[in-house]
Structure 1
Amino acid sequence: MLTMSEIQGKIIKELSKKIESLEIELKQQKKENLQINKFLYETYTREENVLYHFKKIKEKYEALKHSKLGKLTIKYWELKNRR
């Protein structure tokens, strides 16, 4: 028959093993979260860059569209692209 201190020792060892495994799992989850956040940040940065360039191109197009020579140029390309 096991004594009380032996039972407590076994329980402590089992709990220590559980704690170690949970700490390892926590570290892995933190790494995964860090990788996901890094990926999301990079994706967000790329999207912002694309939107910025699109906005600049759109501004140039609008300026061209509203000028006299620009209107003529746009009509020319519309006709040329129809053929």
Structure 2
Amino acid sequence: MGRIAYQFKLWKSAEWRRGERVYWCEVKQDLFGSWVVLRHWRGVKSGKWGMKETVCESYADAETLFEVVAKRREKRNYVRVEG
């Protein structure tokens, strides 16, 4: 069985907020080395939350999906949180 070469330098994440809502997205590799886009959201006061995981064919596909998520958050008036 071969070794998986994780590319940690390519992993990225971002967080957005709007009022009491929080949304964050991550691009990383899973246990098998596949590129995955993880999306999480929650309501701070309501306590409701959810997540979605999408396995991508390549890093380029994952990065494209990450950019689609970022544009959608901006369109819906979320503010990106740096940190």
| Structure with greater proportional strand content | 2
Higher relative contact order (CA 8 A, sep 6+): 2
For normalisation by structure 2, the TM-score amounts to: 0.22
Q: Rg larger in 1 or in 2?
A: 1
TM-score under structure 1 length normalisation: 0.22
Q: Which has the higher helix share?
A: 1
